[in-house]
Amino acid sequence: MATATRLTSRYWTKTFLGQITGVTTTISRRTLVTTCVRKWQASGEFYSEQHLQLQSSLKKLIDVEINPHVDQWEKEHRFPAHEVFKKLGSAGFLGISKPEEYGGLGLDYGYTVAFAEALGSIHCGGIPMAISVQTDMATPALAKFGSDYLKETFLRPTIAGDMVVCLGVSEPGAGSDVAGIGTTARRQGDDLIINGQKMWITNGFQADWMCLLANTSEGSQHRNKSLICLPMNTPGIHRTSRIEKIGMHSSDTAQIFFEDVRVPAKNIIGEEGMGFTYQMLQFQEERLVGSAVCLAPLDKCIADTINYTSERKVFGQPVLNNQAVHYTLAELETEVEALRSLVYRATALYIGGEDVTKLVSMIKLKAGRLCRQVPDSCLQFWGGMGFTQENYVSRLYRDMRLVSIGAGADEVMLAIICKYAGTLPKVASSLKKKERQASN
Q: Domains of the chain (ranges plus CATH)?
A: 7-163 (1.10.540.10), 166-273 (2.40.110.10), 277-435 (1.20.140.10)
Rounded distance between C-alpha atoms, residue 16 and residue 5, angstroms: 17
**Band (207; pLDDT cuts 50, 70, 90):** very high
Q: In 47-205, at which residue ranges do the beta strands (DSSP E only) sit?
A: 165-168, 184-188, 191-202
For residue 271, pLDDT beyond 50: yes
Give Cα separations from 173 to 44, 178, 181, 182 (angstroms).
Answer: 45, 10, 7, 8
What would the mean pLDDT of 21-28 be, rounded to a whole number? 35
Instruction: Report d(CA 335, CA 329) in Å as an integer.
Output: 10
Whether pLDDT at 304 is above 50: yes
Least confident of 31-40, 63-72, 146-155: 31-40
Closest CA to 116 of 271, 260, 296: 296
> Distance between CA atoms of 367 and 158, rounded to whole angstroms?
28
pLDDT digits (tens, 9 = 90+) for 364-392: 999 999 999 999 999 999 999 999 987 89
3-state secondary structure of 258: strand
Q: In this predicted model, what pLDDT tens digit does every residue of 62-114 receive, in sequence order?
A: 999 999 999 999 999 999 999 999 999 999 999 999 999 999 999 999 999 99
Please report the sign of the dihedral spanned by the C-alpha atoms of residue 92, residue 292, residue 398, residue 177: positive
- CA pseudo-torsion sign 281, 284, 290, 296: negative
Q: What is the mean pLDDT of residues 323-352?
A: 97
Sign of the torsion angle spanned by Cα atoms 146, 150, 156, 157: negative
Mean pLDDT across the stretch 25-51?
Answer: 55
Using the predicted structure, report yes or no on whether residue 35 has a pLDDT greater than 60. no
pLDDT in tens, 118-131: 999 999 999 999 99
**Contact of 129 with 251, CB cutoff 8 Å:** yes
435 in active site? no
Residue 305: pLDDT band with limits 50, 70, 90: very high
Element (H, E) at 326: helix 323-351
Q: What is the 3-state secondary structure (H, E, C) of 395-419?
A: HHHHHHHHHHCCCCCHHHHHHHHHH
Q: What is the 3-state secondary structure (H, E, C) of 328-345?
A: HHHHHHHHHHHHHHHHHH
The one-letter code for the residue type at 41 is Q
Average of pLDDT values for 256-269?
98
**b/e per residue, 281-303, with b = 16+ CB within 10 A?**
bbbbbbbbbbbbbbbbbbbbbbe
pLDDT tens per residue across span 399-415: 999 999 999 999 999 99
The answer to whether the beta carbons of residues 17 and 61 sit under 8 Å apart is yes
Identify which of 216, 218, 231, 230 has the alpha carbon closest to the alpha carbon of residue 274.
Answer: 216
Is 84 in contact with 93 (CB distance < 8 Å)? no
Which one of 83, 101, 286, 333 is the catalytic residue? 286
Task: Return the pLDDT at 429.
Answer: 52
Say which DSSP state 217 is in: S
> Measured between alpha carbons, how far is residue 332 from residues 287, 291, 336, 367, 371 in Å?
21, 16, 6, 12, 11
Average pLDDT of the residues in 1-17: 37
Name the band, by pLDDT with cuts 50, 70 and 90, for residue 55: very high
Q: How many CB atoms are closer than 10 A to CB 349?
A: 16
pLDDT at 306 over 90: yes
